[in-house]
Structure 1
């Protein structure tokens, strides 16, 4: 049996503190300390420990639409990841090697992730949406030595040159090694040496909305241990059945489909379907008694179009979470009315874990992201770099004066912050200077310390010299019964410099015509102060997005600038001056 190290004990103590002290993050944060780790391998020191303590407990439960389901225990997952680790070692995978994973929500994904962590290999998660050009960029800039991909994705690598091992999950492919061969490996694994807590673990290519993807490097402590804050925010408990609707390849998948639930000793639940359908999701959650659910606002917008109240006595849900983009107050209210549950928002980045959130039991203010999570100290910096009640969200990195490093709860660099941008020391220095990490997001803080998201620094704009938050206007418009999705950008105007324009996707069956335009503009006038008024709209069938689903407002801004320069109006565009009956 593997000896329990002092660092493993320190991690467990920090975890147990957050499990037993739920509620107000400010109070919990006053006593919480990040564990000070030297040598730590989360897969060996934590996951395998859970497998030894309660091996029969379910670790992973996958329900495949029309294709049965799989439920894997902690003990079985530990043994299989050992087999995969030994097999990968035989193929030449070594500590520090870069391994790109392009897999769906299938058991092999979790087996391979754990195996790579045990070996000390660095995992580069890749979305199924990536093109050969995207993969070429990742393999070149990520210095990839090994690729593990599903059979459906193997053809994408035909034109991607490089000296890398090719492993396929599923049907055999020419030139690829079959993952099934890993089942012949020994299920007893011995590491080749200790893992330093600061050793590299994950390398994420961000899906930036305005620039080429950056390479975000996380360590064996920054994501595994850092996601204790995410566990606390979600409200996970040992034995929970936790569902997070997310695709592999993105940081949020690691947040809530890997580290946070397994930190708690919960079961990760996945529902694989060819096409999302709210009734199917609700039926599956009811049958399998899922009790914690995290989903992006897009999913929640689809769910509230169903008769949620009819499911109130059938579901076992205790915690419901929104993530990815801020939640609109209307969604929160509808879920509360239907299920009696408070839909809670939170905030973080690929570069961090959950840093602000509405924790279980904390009174929620509609539209607010909540309070700082334990272990994080937040500052809002204005354009001059001074702390203010509105400004860029920043993490404090310096120790408290007079305290030894780490001597005061929450002081110093938070453990959940990335090591840096591997491809750009300059960019790392740009976001980490003066004792702060700068997120690039703008927020407001009220008298009670609650934070409200304003927008990306690049997305906030001025109209008639007033600062406008696209999200605030979008939150108002989304409450219109016919609006299913919306993006607001500045539209150049000779008098006001710019006026807010909304690109709108309507619900199925709604007519995108002049009558609807008048109704939406009138609705906006009632919901928004005059200086925030949406004065132009355009009905569209889709919005430009990154492959991780974030709206590319920069693309819409550029489109709007070019149109106004040309002085042209496209089909589906309506301006408030088109409607004389609207009062100014």
Structure 2
């Protein structure tokens, strides 16, 4: 254990807890911990777990059954698993593919791998065999720990790698359950350099083949102090986050941020999302903070939220920007304001509305501790200053952000491109007001021109979702002979609404009443939205569909598509 690293980490954490409602001071005076040696599982988790019988992990099964594990118990169990994994050949620097759902073994395996100095590649249980082959091959995997339900998907995956199964016994696979009976001792085999690799994440691939993002023993564990601060977590809190294992947000809010604070991680297992049982569990378990992606919030506000008297103090939106209409509905029901934030797999939380700060409609907040944000003109490469500045959201590298990745694995060109000219380039566009609040405009790939005006899909989507009939919307450019492109909305209807001409007219009329003429949605189609398996909308797929549909025949239609010309009633409005 590195005592100095533990003390520096604790001092930084305690400083953020002390200034949890003073974001400017927290950012300005944040005492950055920059150890040369650090192992979060040994130097932090074990330190706070010693003689600590408070609940670290609370899993609620679909039938309502509770599983609770204390900090002290998880520390002991992960030691035992680490000792057993060493007997299975796991060594420092080895890469382990974890394909596990929300079960206790996931957290045991994560902690044990960290203690061994192994490199973890988290993966969702929804991957197809081709995806598994990609993970194992490109990830250089030496060991696989997987649920029994997914082991068949590995049948054709090449390579010599250790097979460990969680759940039902599987022929040819060692049983993870043997670890609980193992008497193999565990002791660290030496210090862990803070720069050593810890995590490799395959991105969700909204625009291209998934990239492989590398994080160090410091970048996620220490970097997620910013995430802890943004969420507003305190020791003893009960934090619920809706996220699937295998994606970075799961590590953000179901691993590092809560345990950085000394809070309980609450997990609600559902095969298929159901709002009412989830809300019942929030009340019964006394959750104090709740983080969910926009898709979940949009489903929750279909319920009468005011009927649930919760203990929630903090409510958070993450994954994609949250529409103002949803924020208002939650505020009306619970008297709480959903606080938005921004980050990526490549980073921890960069920007956010921290507790106690003014929340400005549409803004995702200000830079968080450990980050210095600049807006950079994507053409000139110069920093944009002044009121209402707009540019690519970039991170200054002069003082390297604590939570920034080491780079893209085996891709020096892509790494260099993302970190050129003294900045890490996020690929996202934002505007900044005079007080430093940053508002999301869209992915640089998603912003488009119509009649030579720049259009932010997110702005139009936020207007559309204000209509009662709209559950979700995605706006993309649709080819047009006069304007080059016009905004088209793909719309998912809320329960109780039908995909009729009357519904399309009502939605278009609402949009015209709110949007400036050059921003008008001029085409609308009722359809399901293509998404990555992590739940992000694949606008790139919709843009491609528009080109296929309208490039050759501009009058062609989707099966449930309407043009504004179909509605004489709209003329003059």
TM-score normalised over the length of structure 2:
0.97
For 1:386, the equivalent position in structure 2 comes to 382
Instruction: Kindly indicate whether the alpha-carbon contact (under 8 Å) linking 1:58 and 1:73 is maintained by their aligned counterparts in 2.
Output: yes
Q: In the TM superposition, what is the alpha-carbon distance from 1:105 to its structure 2 partner?
A: 0.2
Match of 1:92 among 85, 89, 92: 89
For 1:504, the equivalent position in structure 2 comes to 491
Q: In the TM superposition, what is the alpha-carbon distance from 1:128 to its structure 2 partner?
A: 1.3
Where 1:504 maps in the other structure, the secondary structure is strand
For 1:576, the equivalent position in structure 2 comes to 564
CA offsets per residue over residues 225-257 of structure 1, 9 Å max, x none? Answer: 000000000000001000000000000000000
For 1:40, the equivalent position in structure 2 comes to 38
Following the alignment from structure 1 to structure 2, what is the Cα–Cα distance between the partners of residues 24 and 437?
26
Following the alignment from structure 1 to structure 2, what is the Cα–Cα distance between the partners of residues 155 and 391?
47
- Counting matched residue pairs gives 565
Instruction: Kindly indicate whether the alpha-carbon contact (under 8 Å) linking 1:501 and 1:536 is maintained by their aligned counterparts in 2.
Output: yes
CA offsets per residue over residues 152-174 of structure 1, 9 Å max, x none? Answer: 11111111121000000001000
For 1:308, the equivalent position in structure 2 comes to 305
1:538 aligns with 2:525: yes
Where 1:550 maps in the other structure, the secondary structure is coil
For 1:553, the equivalent position in structure 2 comes to 539
Instruction: Kindly indicate whether the alpha-carbon contact (under 8 Å) linking 2:427 and 2:443 is maintained by their aligned counterparts in 1.
Output: yes
Q: In the TM superposition, what is the alpha-carbon distance from 1:187 to its structure 2 partner?
A: 8.1
For 1:403, the equivalent position in structure 2 comes to none
Instruction: Kindly indicate whether the alpha-carbon contact (under 8 Å) linking 2:469 and 2:493 is maintained by their aligned counterparts in 1.
Output: yes
Instruction: Kindly indicate whether the alpha-carbon contact (under 8 Å) linking 1:236 and 1:264 is maintained by their aligned counterparts in 2.
Output: yes
Instruction: Kindly indicate whether the alpha-carbon contact (under 8 Å) linking 1:320 and 1:342 is maintained by their aligned counterparts in 2.
Output: yes
For 2:506, the equivalent position in structure 1 comes to 519
Where 1:523 maps in the other structure, the secondary structure is helix
Where do residues 275-424 of structure 1 align in structure 2 (5 Å cutoff)?
Answer: 275-311=272-308, 314-382=309-377, 383-388=379-384, 389-398=389-398, 412-424=399-411
CA offsets per residue over residues 333-359 of structure 1, 9 Å max, x none? Answer: 111111111110000000000000000
Where 1:144 maps in the other structure, the secondary structure is coil
Q: In the TM superposition, what is the alpha-carbon distance from 1:188 to its structure 2 partner?
A: 5.6
Where do residues 55-454 of structure 1 align in structure 2 (5 Å cutoff)?
Answer: 55-66=52-63, 68-186=65-183, 189-311=186-308, 314-382=309-377, 383-388=379-384, 389-398=389-398, 412-454=399-441
Q: In the TM superposition, what is the alpha-carbon distance from 1:67 to its structure 2 partner?
A: 6.0
Instruction: Kindly indicate whether the alpha-carbon contact (under 8 Å) linking 1:33 and 1:375 is maintained by their aligned counterparts in 2.
Output: no
Instruction: Kindly indicate whether the alpha-carbon contact (under 8 Å) linking 2:84 and 2:184 is maintained by their aligned counterparts in 1.
Output: no
For 2:7, the equivalent position in structure 1 comes to 9
Displacement over 6 Å in runs of 4+: none
Q: In the TM superposition, what is the alpha-carbon distance from 1:186 to its structure 2 partner?
A: 3.9
Q: In the TM superposition, what is the alpha-carbon distance from 1:548 to its structure 2 partner?
A: 1.2
CA RMSD after TM alignment: 1.0
* Unaligned stretches of 5+ residues in structure 2: none
CA offsets per residue over residues 291-336 of structure 1, 9 Å max, x none? Answer: 110001111111111111122xx31100000000101111111111
Following the alignment from structure 1 to structure 2, what is the Cα–Cα distance between the partners of residues 224 and 40?
9
Match of 1:471 among 450, 454, 458: 458
Instruction: Kindly indicate whether the alpha-carbon contact (under 8 Å) linking 2:87 and 2:184 is maintained by their aligned counterparts in 1.
Output: no
* Unaligned stretches of 5+ residues in structure 1: 399-411
Following the alignment from structure 2 to structure 1, what is the Cα–Cα distance between the partners of residues 438 and 541?
28
CA offsets per residue over residues 132-167 of structure 1, 9 Å max, x none? Answer: 000101101100000000111111111112100000
